[in-house]
Amino acid sequence: MKKTIPVIPMRGLTVLPTMVLHFDISREKSIKAVEAAMAEDQIIFLVTQQNPDDNNPGLRNLYSIGVAARIRNVAKLPRNIVRVMAEGLERGKLLGIEDCDGYLHARVETIRETETEYDDMTKLAMTRGLEELLKRYGQLNQKFGKEMLRQLLEIHDFEKLVMAVCVHLPLSYEQRQRLLEAEDMVDRYEQLCTMLVQEMEIIQIQNEIQQKVRERVDKNQREYVLREQMKLIQEELGEDTLLSEVDDYIQKAEELCASDEVKERIRKEAQRLKGLSGNSAESGVLRNYIETLLELPWEKMSEDNHDLKRAAEILDEDHYGLEKVKERVLEFLAVRSLTEKGDSPILCLVGPPGTGKTSIARSIARALDKKYVRISLGGVRDEAEIRGHRRTYVGAMPGRIAAGMRQAGVKNPLMLIDEVDKVSSDYKGDTSSALLEVFDSEQNCRFHDHYVELPIDLSQVMFIATANDASTIPRPLLDRMEVIELGSYTSNEKLHIAKRHLLQKQIERNGLKKSQLTITKTALAEMISGYTKEAGVRQLERQIGRICRKAAREILEDGAKNVRVSAKNLEEYLGRRRYTFQKRNSQNDIGIVRGLAWTSVGGDTLEIEVNTMPGKGELVLTGQLGDVMKESARAAVSYVRSLGEKYQIDPEFFTKNDLHIHIPEGAVPKDGPSAGVTMATAVLSATAEIPVRADVAMTGEITLRGRVLAIGGLKEKLLAAKQAGITTVIVPEENRADIAEIQDEIKEGMELVYVSTMREVLDTAFA
């Protein structure tokens, strides 16, 4: 018989016929299904989900066989939970499911039990076999109640006994589902017996394991008593024995250069180790902990180099440029020489990849004669990586800071915290917050590591952090560091770095001699401009490495004694030129203005284009613009509309025409406010039909009333303008102080026009 009744998908629970059970429901659809069933004949279909974690199961995630049940009682509990008492009636096959009226309707076909003919002797034999299995199961599983076992054994009807055992035996919902789907009583009986035998085997194996564990514990206890007795006998006889492991730890603690608090902790833990069995797990944990305390440099320090001239020579030898970093390090060294103490600075080097942030830290350590430790935090999510694990956990270990101190062996090393802007957080804690204590000079004199459990003095450590983008560093953490910006290298700086460092490094790395390879200055300049596009020199070093590998092959295969690479034959080694800088336009144009942009690989120029066309006054923006850039475009259009009368623009022009602003390259996402003045100039040029000078580039944020605000990344932008052949650059007046810090070689040959309003921009830009 087929019928349609409300359905409840059950999570981790399978109901059998004759089974009475309580279950809680909280899903809105299930509650409405119960209400619908109570309003009719109290019959509801209970079917089990295949995946209990699915909150909105469909027909595919439900078993095909369920049970029609009668609801006996419904009780409402707090937090929108409903407790239902139901009794299983008969099996049903789920034909379909439909979501209607806010709950699930199931089309169910009633399954009649297949009648199997078997004589009384067979029935009696199966009944006795099941009773025998139940007795053995009850003996093995002490948790199975004796009263329940007695009640089951009092049932002598075969079919009732099978169903009663299926209902009351502690089985998983998958096992009960298999019993529910059995074709007839004989099939259900065979599956039930198989499950009983499997459960008994599992219980027997568990009992054997527990017995072995008890025997091992008793053996360890006996060994401990005998060992203590043996120690007492040796003491009574006065026999001289070698220093035990514990005595060795205590002796090392006395010789350790540390405070009394640390020595007392080591002695205390060593005495605890003395009372443990040598093979116990806790003794291994204690050994590791004591050895960690003994290896940490509590009061051990190295002597810093105070020779300012030598330090300056080493820094200049290892790195070209980076004047701000070198100046700050020499200042620290001078203060340390005068005060003989001084707080160690916490520097944060911020700059694009490949600009020498990590390598400068190694050079500083060499210049100051400090031990060098590098800790990379890229992708670290667990707070325990910084503060260590508590010793109660299996496999506990100190955090990276304590491990770095242990590696350095002194309390005043130079510790490089690399990629500090790339730490992340998850449910295990906030890693960046754990660094607050490390980087706070007022707190890190007593840094707490969960594993060490004793305060570690980090005040003498010279921390240097590196980051690609300071904006992603949490503000409280950034506030504890002294930020030093490392900008992009100029072409001249890259050329000097390649000649002084990269070329020799790659020649040695590829097994060549200096006399076997010559790369001319013009070839290096061509590699910088045509084969690399970056802020640093990492890609340039790879290109030099490619030439060295090809030169090594020529020397081995062709027997060449010397390979000379110049600008003429550079393509033979590196292929065709990969990058070309977009040069300035040859003539003035309407609606086209050259803007300047900062990117992660240096500066670039953007040629902003504006077109007007008949329409309904819509503004179209293309070129993958971010939200900030879109807002700048709207502000620019609003400002231009306010100038309509001055430039004799038809008042209805902006309602009868559409404006289209496009910023190539269209495949590259762009964002930021610094293109505001450029877009305003281009829009006014297109609407008033006034040409814009081709030799002018500009940057600056625009306000609604035409004020020009400061922007960032000015050095990189001026570099891009110089490479594009721009002779006049418009920059905000507020950035005049930034211009003073930029090298003269970048500004040479360019006229810088400082502006504070859009009127000044237009006076310079319009031809």
Kindly list the catalytic residues: 674, 717
Asked if the bond preceding 147 is cis, omega within 30° of 0, the reply is no
The whole-angstrom separation of Cα 172 and Cα 175 is 5
Written as six digits, the tokens of 42 are 């109290």
CA angle 618, 622, 626 (to 5 degrees): 105
**String of b and e for 121-144 (b: at least 16 CB within 10 Å)?**
eeeeebbeebeebbeebbeebeeb
CA angle 96, 166, 76 (to 5 degrees): 60
**String of b and e for 426-456 (b: at least 16 CB within 10 Å)?**
eeebebbebbbbbbbeeebeebebbbbebbb
Q: How would you write 269-290 as a 3-class SS string? A: HHHHHHCCCCCCHHHHHHHHHH
Phi, psi (deg, nearest 5) at residue 4: -115, 120
Phi, psi (deg, nearest 5) at residue 681: -65, -45
Written as six digits, the tokens of 53 are 């974690």
- For 57, the 3-state DSSP assignment is coil
Written as six digits, the tokens of 308 are 């300012």
According to DSSP, residue 498 is labeled I
The whole-angstrom separation of Cα 431 and Cα 382 is 6
The whole-angstrom separation of Cα 403 and Cα 374 is 11
- For 240, the 3-state DSSP assignment is coil
The whole-angstrom separation of Cα 654 and Cα 641 is 8
Give me the residue label for tokens 């100029």.
490
Quick one: 40 exposed, middle or buried, by C-beta within 10 A (0-12, 13-18, 19+)?
exposed
- What separation in angstroms does the CA of 621 have from each of 590, 630, 634, 659, 718? 18, 7, 10, 9, 26
- What separation in angstroms does the CA of 258 have from each of 16, 84, 295, 301, 410? 70, 67, 11, 12, 12
Phi, psi (deg, nearest 5) at residue 624: 55, 60
Q: Where are the beta strands (DSSP E) in 297-396?
A: 346-350, 372-376
Written as six digits, the tokens of 469 are 């983008």
The whole-angstrom separation of Cα 286 and Cα 293 is 11
Determine the angle formed by the axes of helices 308-318 and 357-368, rounding to 10 degrees.
Answer: 150
Written as six digits, the tokens of 363 are 């050079």
Q: Work out whether the CA dihedral 146, 148, 150, 152 comes out positive or negative.
A: negative
Q: Cβ(108)–Cβ(94) under 8 Å?
A: yes
Which residue, 271, 206, 214, 209, is CA-closest to 244? 271
Give me the residue label for tokens 């005060």.
339
Cα-based torsion angle of the residue sequence 73, 77, 80, 86 in order, rounded to the nearest 10 degrees: -20
Sequence-ordered list of residues with C-beta below 8 angstroms from that of 86, at least 6 positions apart, any chain: 15, 20, 21, 23, 44, 46, 69, 70, 71, 72
CA angle 32, 168, 71 (to 5 degrees): 25
Q: Work out whether the CA dihedral 59, 62, 65, 66 comes out positive or negative.
A: negative
Q: Work out whether the CA dihedral 47, 53, 55, 60 comes out positive or negative.
A: negative
**Quick count: other Cβ atoms within 10 Å of Cβ 722?**
22
Written as six digits, the tokens of 165 are 């055992």
